Chains A and B, each alone.
Chain A
Amino acid sequence: MTASALQELHKGIWKENPVFVQVLGMCPMLAVTNSVINAIAMSLATFFVLVGSSFLVSLCKDLIPHQVRISCYIIIIATFVTVADFTLQALLPAVHKELGAFIALIVVNCIILGRQEAFASKQPVGLAVADAVGTACGFTLALVCLGSIREILGNGSLFGIGLFGPHFEPWVVMILPPGGFITLGLLLLFFNWLQETRRQRRATAQPSADEGVTAG
């Protein structure tokens, strides 16, 4: 039980990373990653909504009729998003203002609905929560990664603290919309390359092992 829960956790963070591998949830990700602080606030809100709704959906899975399940999931998700929206507005009004409508738009983040439909609606509560935590961590990892790259290059700072001194000429386009698209494109290219080299290494390792068998 604990082993499989750990497996679900690991799967969400790395092997099936929602952003880099499955390429889901791009809208909120590109829009809020112009600084690390925004990226972290967005990940926290998504974390809360994803874990909360996975828990509730898994708990209610026998009560929800199959035909109207999607509507039920969306209403559950929208409830959690409303809570997150109002909480953030009360605690961190500045960040809330910067993120704007994108907190409300967590409702239509495909990662969340995807996890409910593909996992939480079929699994026991413990596993569903582990899966949600894993996926949310994977999302956080991607957001912080993208947010740091864009803030360092576009603003010459990290967490709002200047890094390069006064002579640094910020690469402004990186914090503007085109920078988001291009940075994510290059990151995906990097991940493709990693997977490709790993596959090639395995492919070259395989024949030599076969030779060993035939020789033996």
Chain B
Amino acid sequence: MSELVWIFVSALLVNNFVLSYFLGLCSFFGVSGKLETAFRLGLANTFVMLITAVAAWALNTFVLVHAPYLRLISFIVVIASTVQFVEMVIKKLSPALFQALGIYLPLIATNCAILALAIFATNRGYGLLEGLVFALGAGGGGTLALVLMASLREEAELADIPSLMKGTALNLIIAGILSLAFMGFAGLFSQA
């Protein structure tokens, strides 16, 4: 049990996917302009991660035992089709959310955080339950980072910033400071 808690908190805070592994930065900088959209993208991301964790476990256990060199290709194909599926479901259930996410919904397929989740889970030999908890933590951590970043950027909109600094340069430095803050969590566990 404590093992599962450790996996969850580690993925959520200590080894935050966005701020300490640099994963999923494209959508992190692309969609963090508005708080509302950022939060929803985080949720969609988490959902795809959960499905990917199950799919990666199934592939590793049943299909790839004899052909490990096909791992990367089969993962990416599974992720792409999952994203396609999620896109259809969201379009059907909530057209408004579909509109708000725009191009970033299909782009979840090339979000490195998703593929990294599958690869990390494989490398660390996680089972089904551990994989799901890991996905939940990583997705939650990604959402947390997105929400924090979006809130900071909404504040920064109102501030008087030199024109040279505006845009990506400022966002990167804000992310750097956030990441510095998240480093504080590193002492939370003494490698349980």
Chain A interface residues (CB < 8 Å from chain B)? 23-24, 26-28, 30-31, 71, 74-75, 78-79, 81-82, 85-86, 101, 104-105, 107-110, 113, 173, 176-182, 184-186, 188-189, 192-193, 196
Contact = CB atoms under 8 A, between A and B. Distances in A.
B69 interface: yes
Q: Quick one: which of A23, A82, A86, A186 has the most chain B CB within 10 A?
A: A23
Nearest to A193: B164
B145 to A, nearest CB: 12
A181 B72 CA distance: 28
A86 B69 CA distance: 9
Interface of B: 19-26, 29, 69, 72-73, 76-77, 80, 110-112, 115-116, 119-120, 123, 164-165, 167-173, 175-177, 179-180, 183
5 contacts: A24-B26, A27-B22, A108-B76, A185-B172, A185-B176
Given A27-B26, A75-B76, A75-B77, 14 more contacts: A30-B22, A81-B72, A85-B72, A104-B72, A104-B115, A105-B112, A105-B115, A107-B76, A108-B110, A113-B110, A177-B21, A181-B175, A189-B169, A193-B164
Across the A-B interface, the 5 shortest Cβ-Cβ residue pairs: A185-B172, A181-B176, A182-B176, A185-B173, A178-B180
Contacts of A193: 164
Contact of A192 (B73, B169, B177): B169
Contacts of A104: 72, 115, 119
A185 B173 CA distance: 5
A30 B170 contact: no
Q: Quick one: which of A24, A79, A104, A113 has the most chain B CB within 10 A?
A: A104
Nearest to B171: A185
Contacts of B20: 177
A31 B175 CA distance: 14
Nearest to B106: A70
B72 A78 contact: yes
A188 B169 CA distance: 6
B184 to A, nearest CB: 11
A104 B73 CA distance: 10
Contacts of A173: 180
B33 to A, nearest CB: 15
B177 to A, nearest CB: 7
B116 to A, nearest CB: 6
A155 B28 CA distance: 29
A177 B72 contact: no
A74 B80 contact: yes
A5 to B, nearest CB: 28
